[in-house]
Structure formats: structure tokens, C-alpha cells
Chain A
């Protein structure tokens, strides 16, 4: 069951990793130059890049993408959410697999969360300096890290991301004024200090909001690769296709998780094989007298071998069935999503059969050595 669970966790990690990339209708992902995109590492690009991308021939849509993880206390329990910013009003989250409530219908303070967050429609959640109301619930929208996703508008997502406490803001403004006087600009234009001590948005050079990526939709009939090449030619961005982004995800942290889980699974299979071999060996020892009797009355070695192998296969099959049924019951309570794929279950079944056969070899070896004369008094 543990091996089955590990395989399921790996499948879950893969599915979680690519869920968003699969769901978001984007042909291209434009990210910060020489970075691997918003999931593999930090990517910061100016939000007005959307407008630049829209000027490229063949581009149908371009909207910003913000993704970051928050952890808040909710109803006395820690709540982790991966916040995804939707480019309101272009993107209202219609593509989301909503199972309860609705998508976003206003520019601020509405939230659609995955039901694995245990939030309910109508729940209120404080993020940044605002209170957000849960308006809808999705199913299966889990981040690469296994956290439930929450969808709010891009502006809200940025506000949450860059939210600072009033004291932090005051300290930063004071520090900014001090920094200004340390450079030539502050000495030649002392009136700048008034602006430096004010709002970020009052200083255009500092106020440009940053996003993680721009999602690009290519017009039907246009070559996606050709559009990507044009954008890639810009010196400040890197471009990935949908498949490219998925490969980055799967070859990054998911790959490490896969290898780690694979290693554990192999170790567990070896341990299971040893345990099973010992069980079958012990069971064979218990039946050694009967085996000797069978040999005495003329049973062929193949009959005895068949009996032991039958026992091993039965043990393996029953164990697999119990593990599967138990898994179906327990896996939904696992902290990470466990996805059981039919192919994996069949493969595991074959592995169990092979283990059963290998494990029975020790028992068979002992049975073949049983002396029929042991039966005589």
C-alpha cells in the first residue's frame, strides 16, 4: 500500500504541477530574461509588458500572471494558499473547474479557492489589508507545492504580495529620503525629498508594478513558434511554450521528487520482497512435515513447487487487493493528493507477482531439501 501510495503521490505531484499550465489557456509564457518562469524561480517583469506583447503580430491576447504563496491563520489553524492573480476583467476565471458558487464578478475582494483549503462559499478571509469573500470553490486546483490555489484579481494579488505594515512603509519612506541625499540627484534637486517621502505611486520610476509572467494567446492559424521567436528576440524576456513550461516543471523540483519517491519505492519493494520471502519461508517451514509426506507418497517436485508458488501468489494478490481497498479509503486523507492511475496499479500488480515468485524461491529451496524419511517415526 505504501508503494502504491508513493506512486500515487508522485502522480499527484505531476498533476498538481501541470494543472495550472494545462488549464490556463496560454500558448506562450513570457518571463524575466534567463529565468525559468514563475514556477521554477522568481520572475519579475513590468506589468506594461502586456501592452508590448499585444503589438506583436499574431498575438490575440496577453495578460499578466502573478503567483505567490501566503500562509495565514484561519479559524485558529494555519492556512496556506497559492494566490493566482487573474487579469480582470479579461480573465474572470471562467476556465476554472468551479464546483460550488461562481467565478469572480468584481474587480476587488472576491476570491475563488480550491475546496482542499476547507474554505466554504461565503467565508471571509483577511489578506493584506482587505477582507476577501470566498465566492466559489474549485476541485483539483493544487499548486506544485501541494497547496490549494486561490484566485483573485491581478491587482488584488499584487496588493497582497507587496503588502507592508504601516510601520514598514514609514521606515522605508524615511530610508528612501536618506538614500536620496546620498546621491547627486538628492543634492541637486532637494525638492525630490518631498516625493520620496510619499506614496510609491507618486514616484513613477518606483511605482511600476511587477508581475511574474505574461500569458500570451496566439491567434488561430498563426505559428506559435514564430510568435515566440519574435518575443524571444527582445533582450529583457524569455519565452516558453505551454509544453516548454510543463517540461520545466517536470524536470525541476518534480523530477527530484519523482527520483526520491522512486528510490523509496525501490527500497520498499526490496524490503517487501525480503519480508514476503521470510513469511513464505516460515510458512514453508511450518508445512515441511506435510511437504515431506507429499514427497514420500510420490508427489512430483513440480507439484510441491506449484503449491508454494500458489501460496506466494495468493499472498501477494490478497495483499495487493487489501492494499488497494485500504488505499482507496485512506489516501483521500493524505496531506498531498494521491492519484492512482490504472496503468500504475497494473504495473504494481505485475511487480507484486514478480516479488511473490522471487520470494517463494527461498521456500521452494527449503521444500526441495525436505527429506521424505522425516515422516517416518
Chain B
């Protein structure tokens, strides 16, 4: 695994995740190797049960693989099941997450939700306030900065969630079906936003999606089936 190339956001090799043991053993992810560059947006496709979300939990450093290695921004994070870094700290500093449900804290305003990601990383309030407003402006929702999530449309909420994911300047953004709750027009807008973020913020983006209508936006698509990566299209 080449860890010296600074343009590589993610390198994962031979990832295997097994749940249960003996006759209840399920191999959710089998020998997956994946590499994502900075500034690249990759779609991860596949039917339900293919192992997409499990792969995301491995790449998101939420669960350890049984086998395989994961390096992010050149730093080896997992060597088989052994963590080589403080995973929480690594997650908040190097990774950004966007979910199907936006998971915004309902009693915090849009700006406060974005600031939250920076404040848990002990960034000064002044810095986090400025950065939050910059990001909301960049994503076109600055006017809603002081609104609660319940006052925002689904698309606006997702933009705020993207802003939160970008808050700590991550090298890799993982999005789990971010457009599933949106109509096709808003869904495409959000996908375009991810492409913009990938290219302009120089972050690698992996989007798990079922939405085949917006695949033209992605630099690359990967297809999973039965826990394995089957195809890769450029």
C-alpha cells in the first residue's frame, strides 16, 4: 500500500468484515480494495444487502475490519482489526459524514449545527462561527443560518449537513444515500453539490446511492454485490 502519495484520500486493501461465528457466520464484506483520490467523487452502488453500509462503517472507522488495511491521507489507520490511531479524533479531523436523514440537532440552528463539528474539535468559538458562515454561504444557505432545521426544506437541510461534514476540512467525505429523502431535482442538486465539494474543496467523496439518474455526475462508480466489489466504471 503506497502511503506517500499526498493526492490519495483513501487507500483500503483486502478489507473483510465477518459478523457472527461458526454456522451463524456472515461475511458482509469480502476482500475489498478501494482507492479514492482527493478531488474525486465516487458512487458506490449495489442492491440491498450487498454490504455497502458495512463497507461504509469500515471506511468511516466506525467498526474495525477483520482483515485488511485502511489508510487515510497516507496514515495507516487500521491494520487488520488493530487501530493505529485515536479513531474518534481521526474521524472528527479527517472524515466528514452525510446521512440519508440529515441528523441535524433539532434544537440548534443551522449555523450552530455546523459549528458543533468544530466545537467538539476544540476550535475557538470565533473561528467556528466564521467558518460556519463561510460554509453556509458557499453552499447557498447563509440566509437560513439562524433557522432551526425544522424551518428548512429537505434540500436546505442536506446542504447544512454537507456544511457540517466540511467543517473540519476533511480529506474524505462519506455519504450514505444522501438523496433518498429528496425528489429527483433536489436529489440531483445535492449530488452536484457533492461533486462541487469534491472538486473545489479537494476532498475525496464516496456516495452510497441507489439513484442511477445522477450517475453522470460521478467521476467513478463502484458496484457491490455479495460483499464484494464487482465492477468499476470510469
B100 contacts A377, CB within 8 Å?
Answer: yes
- Which chain B positions have C-beta within 8 A of A296? 60, 62, 91, 97
Q: Does B226 contact A (CB under 8 A)?
A: no
Question: Nearest Cβ distance between residue B155 and chain A, in whole angstroms?
Answer: 18
A377 contacts B177, CB within 8 Å?
Answer: yes
* Closest B residue to A299 using CB positions: B120
B120 contacts A372, CB within 8 Å?
Answer: no
A293 contacts B53, CB within 8 Å?
Answer: no
A298 contacts B91, CB within 8 Å?
Answer: yes
Q: Which of A268-325 contact B (CB under 8 A)?
A: 289-290, 293-300, 303
Q: Does A373 contact B (CB under 8 A)?
A: yes
Q: Which of B115-161 contact A (CB under 8 A)?
A: 116-117, 120-121
A303 contacts B62, CB within 8 Å?
Answer: no
A290 contacts B103, CB within 8 Å?
Answer: yes
Q: Does B76 contact A (CB under 8 A)?
A: no
Contact size range, B: 20 to 34
A294-B120, A296-B62, A297-B117 are known contacts. Are A376 and B92 too (CB-CB below 8 A)?
no
B89 contacts A376, CB within 8 Å?
Answer: no
Q: Does B26 contact A (CB under 8 A)?
A: no
B177 contacts A298, CB within 8 Å?
Answer: no
A298 contacts B120, CB within 8 Å?
Answer: yes
Q: Does B63 contact A (CB under 8 A)?
A: yes
A372–B103 Cα distance when bound, in Å, is 12
Interface string of B88-105 (1 = CB under 8 A from A): 111111010101110101
B176 contacts A376, CB within 8 Å?
Answer: yes
- Which chain A positions have C-beta within 8 A of B120? 294, 297-300, 303
A376–B62 Cα distance when bound, in Å, is 10
Q: Does A375 contact B (CB under 8 A)?
A: yes
Q: Does B232 contact A (CB under 8 A)?
A: no
- Which chain B positions have C-beta within 8 A of A376? 53, 56-57, 60, 62, 99, 176
Q: Which of A40-88 contact B (CB under 8 A)?
A: none
- Which chain B positions have C-beta within 8 A of A297? 91-92, 97, 117, 120, 164
Question: Nearest Cβ distance between residue B115 and chain A, in whole angstroms?
Answer: 12
* Closest B residue to A292 using CB positions: B103
- Which chain B positions have C-beta within 8 A of A373? 57, 62-63
A290-B105, A376-B57 are known contacts. Are A295 and B88 too (CB-CB below 8 A)?
yes
* Closest B residue to A298 using CB positions: B92
A298 contacts B89, CB within 8 Å?
Answer: yes
Q: Does B34 contact A (CB under 8 A)?
A: no
Question: Nearest Cβ distance between residue A5 and chain B, in whole angstroms?
Answer: 34
- Which chain B positions have C-beta within 8 A of A289? 103
A271–B157 Cα distance when bound, in Å, is 42
Question: Nearest Cβ distance between residue A315 and chain B, in whole angstroms?
Answer: 15
Interface string of A344-377 (1 = CB under 8 A from B): 0000000000000000000000000000110111
B contact set with A: CB distance below 8 Å: 53, 56-57, 60, 62-63, 88-93, 95, 97, 99-101, 103, 105, 116-117, 120-121, 164, 176-177, 180
| 18 extra interface residue pairs, beta carbon distance < 8 Å, beyond A373-B57, A376-B60 | A296-B97, A298-B89, A298-B90, A298-B91, A298-B92, A298-B120, A299-B92, A300-B88, A303-B120, A375-B97, A376-B53, A376-B57, A376-B99, A376-B176, A377-B99, A377-B101, A377-B176, A377-B177
28 A–B pairs (Cβ distance < 8 Å), ordered by A? A290-B103, A294-B116, A295-B88, A297-B92, A297-B97, A297-B117, A298-B88, A298-B90, A298-B91, A298-B93, A298-B95, A298-B121, A299-B88, A299-B120, A300-B88, A300-B120, A303-B120, A372-B62, A373-B57, A375-B99, A376-B56, A376-B60, A376-B62, A377-B53, A377-B99, A377-B101, A377-B177, A377-B180
